[in-house]
Amino acid sequence: MVANLDMQSDIDLVDICNTGDARSAEAAFGALYARHKDFVVRVALGTVGDNAIALDTLQETFTWLLKQFPPAGKGLTLTAKLTTLLYPVARNFAISEWRRGKALAADADPENLEAPGVDTANDVQRVLRELPVDRREAAILRFVHGMSLNEIAEALDVPPGTVKSRLHAAVTQLRNSPKLKAFFEK
């Protein structure tokens, strides 16, 4: 049962985590972690752009996931991609950590959170991080993670039309950036 986990879908792996024996469940969870840890790190970096927070977010997000499975939790029913479920969890952890670190006022609006640049980001990524957070996360989910309109809508908990509007606004803003002019002239 432990063999060929890489070939199995997220739904199958989650099912093993829910009901499998100790060895199978641990292996299935390990496969989920290996498959999605980069996604979680990218979400955190895309949200707050801080390496230390990204690592904390990685740990906290998968600890949260682990707690969903028996005996700690009641089990997880996956109706979409796991990334759709992980996105808001990772994003909220990243924002919470960032707030804690920056001692933001309790009533600060996370929608206006501006991601600080990180030294490892290239120019294109820096321009992306200058976008308002709602446009930025829609653009990251679409262009970096390749998620569909409906998947993004579910992850962000907004209607598909709103996602579409944010994507159009993000692309317009990127198109108007002098630093990215060369990409659009080719």
Of residues 94 through 133, those in contact with another protein by CB under 8 A are 109, 111, 120-122, 124-125, 128, 132
User: Is 69 or 98 the residue whose CB approaches another protein more closely?
Assistant: 69
Query: What single letter denotes the amino acid at residue 103?
Result: A
22 binds another protein (CB under 8 A): yes
Furthest C-alpha separation in the chain: 56
String of DSSP letters for 115-133: PPP-TT--HHHHHHHTS-H
42 binds another protein (CB under 8 A): yes
Of residues 133 through 152, those in contact with another protein by CB under 8 A are 134-135, 139-140, 142-144, 149
Sign of the Cα torsion 153, 86, 141, 102 reads: positive
For residues 132 and 170, what is the distance between their CA atoms, to the nearest angstrom? 9
Closest CA to 44 of 109, 150, 124, 118: 118
Q: Which residues bind another protein (CB under 8 A)?
A: 1, 17, 20-26, 29-30, 33, 37-38, 41-42, 45, 51, 54-55, 58-59, 62-63, 66-67, 69-72, 109, 111, 120-122, 124-125, 128, 132, 134-135, 139-140, 142-144, 149, 161-162, 164-171, 174, 180, 183-184, 186
